[in-house]
Chains A and B, each alone.
Chain A
C-alpha cells in the first residue's frame, strides 16, 4: 500500500454529451458505432446492414466528419470508431479529409514514461489510413491518395501503414519510387500471424499458480437459486 498516512488523490467525473441525437443520420451513425462495439456475429451482421443503409444517406460522410471534429480530444475510442465507420460508408470525397488527418501534427514524444498522448493519436491516424484503404477497395481511384500520403513523409508508423496499404493495392512500384532511400526497407516488412509473435516468459511452469482466477459466471451450468425464486413468486 502506497498511501499510508499520506492523502491520495480525489477525482470528480462529468458526463459526456449525446452526439448521436443531433439528426436522424447521426442516430444511424450511432447505431453503426454501437454494432461495431458489440460482441459476436450478430453485431457484425447488424453493423454490415447499418453501414449499407448509411451509404444511401447523402449526408452520411459530412455527418461523420462533423462528429469526428466535435469529439473531444481525450475520447480516442469514439474518434477511432467514427473513422472506422467512415471508411465503410464514405466515397472518394472523404479521402482528402483522411489524408489530412493522417499527416496532422502529433504530440511530442514522451520523455517521462512509456505510453502517452502521442500513442493514442498515432492510433487515430492509423485508423485514418485504414479507412482510406477501405474506401480504395470500393473505389480504386482513392488508392492514389495513399501515394499522396507517402509523399508527405508522415511519422514512421503512419508512413509504414500507408506503404503497406499501397503495396496491398498493387502500387508497389509506385510507392518504391516515392520512398527515400533510407526508407526503402519498409517495402520488405512482412505481415505475420500471431504464431510468429511470441514473448519469452523466461520461466517454466511450477505447481504454484497463485491467485487462480474464478471461473466465469457464464461457465456455471447449475441453475441459479435467485431465478428459481423469482419464477416461483
Chain B
C-alpha cells in the first residue's frame, strides 16, 4: 500500500473541463463501471469512488478517457470490426481488459501497465501520470494500447514493436489516435492536435523499422 499526493493540473488544457461534465451521467457511469470492471477497492481512498463527477479525481479523469474512446466515432453506435479502430476501439478494449485499477505508481513516471496470461490474475493498472500528466484524448489512446496487451499481445523488441506488420499495441494506439485526429467528434482543436502529434511520436520512436509515413 502506498500513499501519494498529486497536484491537479489545469482542467481546461487537460480536457477535463470539456469531458468531465459528460461522464457525470449515471447511465454512463453504470455502464462503464461494469464494462471495464472497475472495483470500489481499487478506486476509493481519494481516487474518486465517492465523488465520481469530481474531475480533479482519477476516476472522473479515467471515465473521461473511456467516454472519448466510446463516443468519438462519427458512426456511433455502430462498432463493426469491418470498419476503422475509432469505431471498434471501445468494443475491443472493454472486452479485452479484465479489470481497470488505479494505483499511485512508481517514481519513474510509468503511465500504465497490464498483466496478462493464464493462471495469473489479469489486470490493467493506471498510475498518477495517466490521470494527471496527459490530456483526455491521449488517455483514450493509452487504453487502446493496454487493451492490446490485455488481449495477449506484448511487444516483440523490448518496449518497441519490430514493425508495423507486427500489428501490436503501438500500431493500434497510432491508428486510434490518427483516426481521432482526423474524424473525432465532440472534441477540441487541442485534443485532436495532441492526438496527431502523439501518433507521429510513436511512429517515429517505437518501431524498429520505421513504417515510412506520418499522419
By the criterion CB–CB under 8 Å, are B212 and A190 in contact?
yes
In A161-184, the 8 Å CB interface with B consists of: 161, 164
From A91-99, A138-146, A200-208, A221-229, the one touching the partner chain is A200-208
Choose among B70, B102, B121, B133 the residue with the greatest number of A CB atoms under 10 Å from its CB.
B133
Query: For the complex, what is the distance from the CA of A194 to the CA of B83, rounded to whole Å?
Result: 12
Q: Are A189 and B212 in contact (CB under 8 A)?
A: yes
In the bound assembly, the distance between CA atoms of A123 and B104 in angstroms comes to: 23
Q: Nearest-CB distance from B70 to chain A (Å)?
A: 5
- Whether A16 contacts B10 by the Cβ 8 Å rule is yes
The answer to whether A130 and B197 touch across the interface, beta carbons within 8 angstroms, is yes
Closest to A122 in B: B201
User: How far is it, in angstroms, between the C-alpha of A80 and the C-alpha of B192 when the chains are bound?
Assistant: 13
Are B167 and A77 neighbours in the complex by a CB distance under 8 Å?
A: no
Assembled-state Cα–Cα distance A168/B94 (Å): 40
> Are B134 and A12 touching (Cβ within 8 A)?
no
On whether the beta carbons of A212 and B77 are closer than 8 Å, the reply is: yes
- Closest A-chain residue to B188, C-beta based? A37
Question: In the complex where A74-B7, A119-B201, A126-B201 touch, is A43 in contact with B188 (Cβ < 8 A)?
Answer: yes
Of the residues B57, B106, B197, contact of A126 by C-beta under 8 Å: B197
Q: Give the tally of cross-chain contacts (CB within 8 A).
A: 284
CA distance A47 to B189 in the complex (A): 10
Place the interface of chain A in its size category.
Answer: 35 or more
Q: Is the CB of B34 within 8 A of A113?
A: no
Residue of A nearest to B179 (CB): A194
User: Given that A113-B111, A189-B214 are known contacts, is A84 also in contact with B190, CB under 8 Å in the complex?
Assistant: yes
* A37 pairs with B6, CB closer than 8 A: no
Q: Is the Cβ of B1 less than 8 Å from the Cβ of A116?
A: no
Q: Min CB distance, B125 to chain A, in Å? A: 8
Q: Are A199 and B121 in contact (CB under 8 A)?
A: no
Nearest chain A CB to B200 CB, angstrom units: 7
Q: Check: A14 CB closer than 8 A to any chain B CB.
A: yes
Is the pair B15, A37 in contact by a Cβ cutoff of 8 Å? yes
Chain A min CB distance to B72 (Å): 11
Q: Confirm or deny: A198 has a beta carbon within 8 angstroms of a beta carbon on chain B.
A: yes
Does A9 reach chain B (CB closer than 8 Å)?
yes
Chain B CB count within 10 A is highest, among A112, A130, A216, for A216
| A16–B9 touching, CB < 8 Å | yes
Write out the residue numbers on chain B whose beta carbons fall within 8 Å of the beta carbon of A25: none
Which residues of chain A in 65-103 are interfacial with respect to chain B, using CB atoms and an 8 Å cutoff?
72, 74-78, 80-81, 84
Question: Which residues in A have their C-beta under 8 angstroms from that of B56?
Answer: 13, 15
8 smallest CB-CB distances across A and B, nearest first, come from A11-B46, A211-B35, A117-B109, A75-B9, A157-B204, A199-B175, A3-B41, A77-B13
| Additional A-B contact list (18), CB under 8 Å, known A122-B201, A213-B90, A216-B76 | A3-B41, A3-B42, A11-B5, A47-B189, A74-B7, A75-B13, A76-B9, A76-B133, A77-B190, A84-B193, A112-B110, A113-B112, A126-B200, A189-B212, A189-B214, A191-B215, A197-B179, A210-B95
Q: Jot down 5 A-B pairs with beta carbons below 8 A, ordered by A.
A: A8-B101, A74-B132, A77-B14, A78-B9, A198-B85
**What is A's interface to B at a CB cutoff of 8 Å?**
1-3, 6-16, 19, 33-34, 36-39, 43-44, 47, 72, 74-78, 80-81, 84, 107, 109-117, 119-120, 122-123, 126-127, 130, 155-157, 160-161, 164, 185, 188-194, 196-205, 209-217
